[in-house]
Amino acid sequence: MSVLTFIDIGLSILVVTVAASTIVMRELFAAVVSYVAYGLLLAFVWIRLHAPDVALTEAAVGGGVTGVLLITAGKRLVPLRRTATEAEPTLILKVLAATLAALVACALAAAILMLPDEPPSLAPEAAAAASGPGAGLGNPITAVLISYRSFDTMLEKIVLILAVVAVWSIGTDRAWGNAPAPLRQARPYPAMVFLAQALVPIGALIGIHIFWVGADAPGGAFQGGALLAAMWMMAMMAQLAEPSRIDARWLRLALVAGPAVFLVIGLAGILMAGSFFAYPPNLAKPIILFIETFMVLSIAVALPMLVAGPPNEGLEP
């Protein structure tokens, strides 16, 4: 048993323990911090599985943005807790739910354990398509995302926009068009302002760098966009920026820019390369980078809007 096996076993036990503690903890803060720790440990697991792109995405979205989203939403619910009038679920309901959850877990485990030795996989076909003339990037993951499975990726961005619309629709009718509540009510401490002023420019550069190298090395549009989103949120939390009104034209244009450009190029593929979402071979890399630029913009705008929440009626236009 090598040291690596020990580390793997230890990591697995740690992941399960932290996941269990996230479910068991009663207080909001503790549970969300535990969830962030879980996301980070999963990023380790991805690194052990030789998938640095997924590790970065897990750390960015699972650990950072989702954790902040959970804690922001949770804190906003605190005043509402006193007006909640629902009764606690009965014991029978709880037992039923637990049994159902356990059955689903057992079914999943059985499905994984009973896979044949050569599990059916699209990986060889995807790898062949990714290194072919239609893509030709150094990073096969980006090639699969934007070329082999481009339609899925575009639909994912549309799902993100739908989520933002859903969050906005929670606001009251009177408040429609206003800006969301500022991420910070009081004056921030000087240390926080210093940290934001130091980190946001560097972080923005790093986000753009990670997006740009995603064509040939681990990275990509989603990771870069998530980092840029985190930097904008950091600026809002230090009151160096304010969330904008949701009827601002630039905001709405930025949100739809990613999927719109993707769709237009996909349709143009019918004329230029013979089928929906095909890219002409010698222009593949510039087109992919062009699409990714707008996708980064959409992600960087959509994620902070999700965290900022519905429009606030307290503000006058």
CA triple 317-234-240, angle to 5 deg: 50
Give which of 180, 176, 161 is closest to 241, Cα–Cα: 180
CB of 169 to other proteins, least distance (A): 24
Alpha-carbon span 50 to 29, nearest angstrom: 32
Site membership for other proteins, residue 201 (CB under 8 A)? no
Q: Which is nearer to other proteins, 199 or 278 (CB)?
A: 199
- In the chain, the largest separation of any two C-alpha atoms, in whole Å, equals 66
Site membership for other proteins, residue 199 (CB under 8 A)? yes
Binds other proteins by CB under 8 A, chosen from 86, 171, 175, 202? 202
Alpha-carbon span 183 to 267, nearest angstrom: 39
Q: With contact defined as beta carbons under 8 Å apart, do 147 and 129 qualify? A: yes
Helix (H, G, I), strand (E, B) or coil at 130: helix
Q: With contact defined as beta carbons under 8 Å apart, do 226 and 62 qualify? A: no
Scan residues 43-102 and list those touching other proteins (CB under 8 A). 43-44, 47-48, 50, 52, 55-56, 59-60, 63-64, 67-68, 71-72, 75, 78
Residues 158-187 vs other proteins: string with x where CB under 8 A?
Answer: -------------------------xxxxx
Alpha-carbon span 84 to 77, nearest angstrom: 10
Residues found near other proteins in the complex (CB under 8 A): 2-4, 6-7, 10-11, 14, 18, 21, 25, 27, 29-30, 33-34, 36-37, 40, 43-44, 47-48, 50, 52, 55-56, 59-60, 63-64, 67-68, 71-72, 75, 78, 183-189, 191-192, 194-196, 198-199, 202-203, 206, 209-210, 213, 217-219, 223, 227, 230-231, 233-234, 237-238
